[in-house]
Structure 1
């Protein structure tokens, strides 16, 4: 009987071991599959990000070339050459200008040409006598002459294994088109400059096709100009190109996505079909419509995944060995194991109960603190509301009872406005005590009025040693919240005041209306248009570059402990950005600090009664 009992125990242990081993294998395989799919998905998203980045780079590149050609079209020598050609005179100075332009951008362009308003070629550089060089299509020249707009042509095969595009810019004088400038871009050069350096993996690359399936940019020059699927089927009829056809269909119909397929690496076309991961996106500009395709070797992703599988297998084996050892020890010390399990279970439950008790007490203390703060905040806010109510009531009664021309009218009106602003702040405090999100009320405001009101508030605080210089020259309206904007300005005034320790401190406040052109929007990161610029300057201690880089970080402060929270300027920046504006700070040690705020102005027809805030 003892032998049978021991056998049953051993048999039970073996069955448990088999069950655990099976469960470990299933869980390990599921984890491996999930990890594999996650890695592939992440890599596909990464390749798609690369493709989108290439698309943005191409757009920026073509815009840059277009802008360069626009500057050249305004060159007085070019205009003079076209005017003299129109009168039948000969002029040569434009040739030097066009040659200089080409030499500056020769690493990216193929040629530059100048046509008159009749479509006749006046000059091209580099000068060539070859009849094989493609002349600009008359239809494109006519299109630009009639529309007076820049035109970007569709790609064309300019020579063997090389595509080009033309950018045509009208030369306008006195609102009349007197000629056309043409900049021919070599797509091979553009590819080598922008796309070829991008290496997704060891063997991966990016390529560009047009909507007809012809390859227009590729790291292997022999591939340029061929119709991808048709040529591959002809060269390798024994291979299955179904997946490549499906990829091409998706690229044309969907425009953006990713796909796994089998193809060759054309750097070594003799090898067998290999699995690739491909991500693609669409690029459009003028008449251009390209497919940007980025691909990498599937094996480069598969290798680390297999390494993960090996690690999981080793870990599973270690776990199995540990389980076997544990089962053996348990089998030998059955009674002691049960006693230890009961004791461990008791201690675990006791520890869990203790942890829950500590967490419960912490939550209770936190809740009590928040309740006390909320009650105190609400009480203080209501008390201030009670004090403000008679101020608002009596000031309104006085405003109604006296004439507008009375000398006291403006003073009473100022009291009424201040009380209204205080009531708005109290509303925000009450909302905070109720844990509500405060949505500021925006309206159309006179920028000058907001700035002048903030200066009135700060004048009563600043010492006589600090002089305020006002240059208020804005006539525009802005859309915003006056209380928040005054909070921004008062914060800046206070910072300037704290930085000016000398007796001859100067606080300068300026406003002006400006227009941000298309050339300036990249520097300021603002859309071109009309803006109100508010500037606060001081001749205080200033800041070094290290401090200047951190001023908008939360909780960063240069003040002594207890005198600054590090929340002022981050809040200021958030308010300005909520008003669709930007803030810039310049500072120099022992010279002073200048803060520029740009707020978008609104059209004049939005003007309404702005006397109430």
Structure 2
């Protein structure tokens, strides 16, 4: 019996040791697995940041190419020389414009430029040296691009095996119509080397870019360039479950703006198939989409984890040996105490693991909070306008119902005025969140009005220790550009001026005048046909700047302020905006005396557009007009539906984009007009419009939004949108738009 008891004790000890080993191994495995997943998720977020950055850089690069050439083709001298070509056949003048312009800009990636006449026939070409290869120019379809008559991106084409190019089209217009087109050819290999290759080896394994058809147009492996992921996958691999994730990812790129995935890669047999992590972003330019993918092998992403795996295993082994020795020793000496100590040590290990997981979760939550705050800041104007739409709308509705003789009419009018004041506050916030770099938003603006609006805000923000000395004259000067951007320039310069005087106080002086072109400083060159310039001088009595500082103030990220006070981007942005407006900026400063910033902007004879008086809507009987209304805000939907029904329209309202699309697809010919919000869950209003337009291209569309984004402007230019209305909506303006567009 004694032997049996000893054997039972050994069995119990062995069982306990086995259980302990299993629990410890499970804890180690779960910790390692959680850490591995965290590393993969962090790599996915990192790759997504890279793909976004590459997409934005390429978008900005191509947009700048189009914009810079657009500045050339809008130059009066260029248009005159091109007209001479038609009148006398003289090409030397326009040739000189293009040559001097291209040599002055030193483009990287712009390999060839064509000047075409109205019929798409070549007038002149310029080859940037060295050009990569000769190619079949029929692929450029120059005549088709000219007939299309639209400025924007053309199509990608293969220059040689392993290298693609893309065409950019700028139409040349005069008063009596178009004079031709300027077609630029961008060498994508050069653009890849400039923007993408530095990131390939440092931040990811490689970066791949596909065009709208799914063809690879940029890749570090030239053998992959030209391969089409939609059409080139062999049929036998489509049924291989190992490549199912890759095929799903390729399909998702055409449904979502961005995303991440892990899949088994296919490289046409040029490399062994491996599991890869990818993050993709869709880039949209002028209605054309490219897909940017940042890719990293899973093995490379987990390399830091695997490098420390041996050390981790050694540490676990040492801990395990200590636990076993301690368990056996304590069991022999003190059975009861041994159990307590084992449980304590085990709980300590588990608690330590849980604390590490908790800290990791807190870090993730903190990062998510920061992301949420950033997104919330960008969406304040949108949400505020969604609230103002029903508030102001119902006030108008009640005022119409009660009439001016009602004792509540004045109360309702005060509510409406308060809403209008709130709308003005939102409009003051919008310039700081709106991305207005597209020249399509330019028009003739009153510079006097811009100065008045900017000074109103400056008076609100400067401290009482600083005195404003204003010498503002009603010059009547109009400039061609963006009032928002010019307002931003003045606010930035005034803010810098008063911040230089915050400690000791001082005087901020602002003056304006109109000067003749011959009074322009010589360092800015000739006036190029401009007769007059508007001159604005902003002077402070602050600490001043040294000559060394003045040479760097327009460099991006250069700042003399504390890290918490400035980013170094303000004056760089000011210079960029003035350059886009064909203007100049001059700086004068003395240490201890202050600084002066002098702005010169070309004056235009084009008058400022006059707002039409508001028309009163009248209830009339009409044939049924079926309106499809889509907005995720139920308050906005209820308000618009109620008011539109009162005017006899048949309104079908939806707060879910997918439900609206399903209803539309059931009977596409039923709808006379689509009214859709820009920002909605699942996908944006512009995406919904594109899907409906594929089914019914003639469907009239009104987009309502609190903030006009770049893709909405591009769709308006492409005539995919008929009208864009800003929230909070003016109901009479909405009725006029419906009456104009609905059949």
TM-score normalised by structure 1 residue count: 0.56
User: Tell me, what secondary structure is at the counterpart of 1:73?
Assistant: helix
Match of 2:89 in 1: 89
Look up the match of 1:277.
277
User: What's the offset of the Cα at 1:106?
Assistant: 6.0
Q: Is the 8 A contact 1:229 1:244 kept in 2?
A: no
Q: Residue 465 of structure 2 contacts residue 502 of structure 2 at CA under 8 Å; is this kept in 1?
A: no
Determine the C-alpha separation between the residues in 1 that align with 2:560 and 2:260: 40
User: Measured at CA, do residues 541 and 315 of structure 1 come closer, stay the same or move farther in structure 2, by a change above 3 Å?
Assistant: same
Matches within 5 A, 1:201-212: 204-212=205-213
Preserved CA contact (<8 Å) 2:500 2:542? no
Rounded to whole Å, the distance in 2 between the matches of 1:449 and 1:2 is: 100
Q: Distance in 2 between matches of 1:96 and 1:449?
A: 46
- What does residue 246 of structure 1 align with? 248
Are 2:33 and 1:33 equivalent residues in the alignment?
yes
CA offsets per residue over residues 94-113 of structure 1, 9 Å max, x none?
32443444555564123111
Tell me the distance in 2 between the aligned counterparts of 1:208 and 1:237: 22
Match of 2:137 in 1: 133
Cα–Cα, structure 1 residues 131 and 183, in superposed 2: closer, same or farther, change >3 Å? closer
In the alignment, the residues of structure 2 paired with residue 81 and residue 446 of structure 1 have an alpha-carbon distance, to the nearest angstrom, of: 40
The equivalences for 1:206-221 within 5 A come to 206-221=207-222
Match of 1:256 in 2: 258
Match of 1:109 in 2: 110
Q: Quote the offset at 1:270 in angstroms.
A: 5.2
Shift of 1:140: 2.2
- Quickly say closer, same or farther: Cα 1:101–1:308, change in 2 above 3 A: same
Contact (CA 8 Å) 2:51, 2:294: kept in 1 or not? yes
SS in 2 for 1:167: strand
Contact 2:82 2:94 in 1 (8 A): no
Q: Structure 1 residues 451, 256: CA separation in 2 closer, same or farther (over 3 Å shift)?
A: closer
CA contact (8 A) 1:113 1:181 kept: yes
Secondary structure of 1:507's match?
strand
2:575 matched to which residue of 1? none
Structure 1 or 2, whichever has the larger Rg, is 1
Distance 1:163 1:105, change over 3 A: farther
CA–CA distance in 1 between the matches of 2:6 and 2:218?
76
Distance 1:320 1:456 in 2: 67
Structure 2: which 5+ runs fail to align? 346-421, 429-451, 475-482, 484-493, 515-535, 571-586, 599-609, 613-743
Deviation string 1:419-463 (CA, Å, 9 cap, x unpaired) is xxxxxxxxxxxxxxxxxxxx9x9799987688789999659xxxx
The answer to whether the 8 A contact 1:233-1:241 is kept is no
Q: What is the CA distance between 1:156 and its match in structure 2?
A: 3.0
How many angstroms does 1:3 deviate by? Answer: 8.0
Deviation at residue 207 of structure 1 after TM alignment: 1.5
Q: Which residue matches 1:538?
A: 541
**Counterpart check, 1:22 vs 2:27:** no
Secondary structure at 2:89's aligned position in 1?
Answer: coil
Separation in 1 of the partners of 2:107 and 2:21? 68
Inter-CA distance 153–309: structure 2 relative to 1 (3 Å threshold): same
For 1:441-460, what aligned pairs fall within 5 Å after superposition?
none
Inter-partner Cα distance in structure 1 for 2:211 and 2:159? 15
- Map of 1:354 onto structure 2: none
Which SS does the other structure have where 1:41 is aligned?
helix
| CA displacement at 1:73 relative to structure 2 | 1.4
CA RMSD of aligned residues (A): 5.3
> CA 1:513 to 1:450, structure 2 compared with 1: closer, same or farther past 3 Å?
farther
Instruction: Check whether the contact 2:166–2:185 (CA below 8 A) recurs between aligned residues.
Output: yes
On the 8 A contact 2:47/2:204 being kept in 1, the answer is: no
Counterpart contact for 2:111–2:187, Cα < 8 Å: yes
Measure, in 1, the Cα distance between the counterparts of 2:464 and 2:213: 68
Change over 3 Å in CA distance of 1:91–1:594 after alignment to 2? closer
Quote the Cα distance in structure 2 between the aligned partners of 1:170 and 1:493.
44
Contact preservation (8 Å) 1:280, 1:292: yes
Q: Secondary structure at the match of 2:88?
A: coil
1:143 to 142, 148, 169: 148
Quote the offset at 1:136 in angstroms.
Answer: 3.7
**Change in 2 beyond 3 A, CA 1:592/1:332:** farther
Q: Pick closer, same or farther for the CA change 1:5–1:231 going to 2, 3 Å.
A: closer
Alpha-carbon displacement from aligned partner over 1:309-358 (angstroms, at most 9, x marks no partner): 444432222122111232244235429968x98xx99xxxxxxxxxxxxx
Cα shift readout 1:477-500 (whole Å, capped 9, x = no counterpart)? x9xxxxxxxxxx999989848548
Distance apart, 1:116 and its partner CA:
2.6
Within 5 Å, give how 1:119-518 maps onto structure 2.
119-126=120-127, 132-134=136-138, 136-144=141-149, 150-174=151-175, 176-199=177-200, 204-228=205-229, 230-231=231-232, 233=234, 241-264=243-266, 269=269, 271-334=271-334, 470-471=469-470, 473=472, 496=501, 499=504, 507-510=507-510
2-side partners of 1:198 and 1:498: how far apart?
A: 44
SS in 2 for 1:197: helix
Q: Distance in 2 between matches of 1:206 and 1:453?
A: 48
The answer to whether the Cα contact below 8 Å between 1:166 and 1:184 also exists between their aligned partners in 2 is yes
Q: Partners in 2 of 1:293 and 1:69 — Cα distance?
A: 29
State how far apart, in whole Å, the 2-side matches of 1:453 and 1:281 are: 41
8 Å CA contact 2:91, 2:123 repeated in 1: no
Distance 1:604 1:84, change over 3 A: closer
Displacement of 1:61 in angstroms is: 0.7
State the TM-score, normalized to the length of structure 2: 0.47
8 Å CA contact 1:548–1:587 kept in 2: the answer is no
Which deviates more from structure 2 when the two are superposed, residues 155-164 or residues 29-38? 155-164
Q: 1:333 to 1:71 in 2, by over 3 A?
A: same
Q: How has the CA–CA distance of structure 1 residues 536 and 41 changed in structure 2, closer, same or farther, with 3 Å as cutoff?
A: same
State the number of aligned residues. Answer: 428
1:293-315 CA-to-partner distances (Å, cap 9, x unmatched) read 22222221233333444444322
Q: 1:493 to 1:539 in 2, by over 3 A?
A: closer
Query: For residues 560-599 of structure 1, what are the structure 2 equivalents within 5 Å?
Result: 589-592=591-594
Measured in 2, the distance between the counterparts of 1:284 and 1:178 equals 28
List alignment gaps of at least 5 residues for structure 1: 346-438, 460-467, 479-488, 501-505, 515-532, 555-568, 574-584, 597-602, 606-613
Give the C-alpha shift of residue 117 in structure 1. Answer: 3.2
Query: Could you tell me whether the CA contact under 8 Å between 1:255 and 1:291 is conserved in 2?
Result: no
Q: Distance in 1 between matches of 2:115 and 2:208?
A: 32
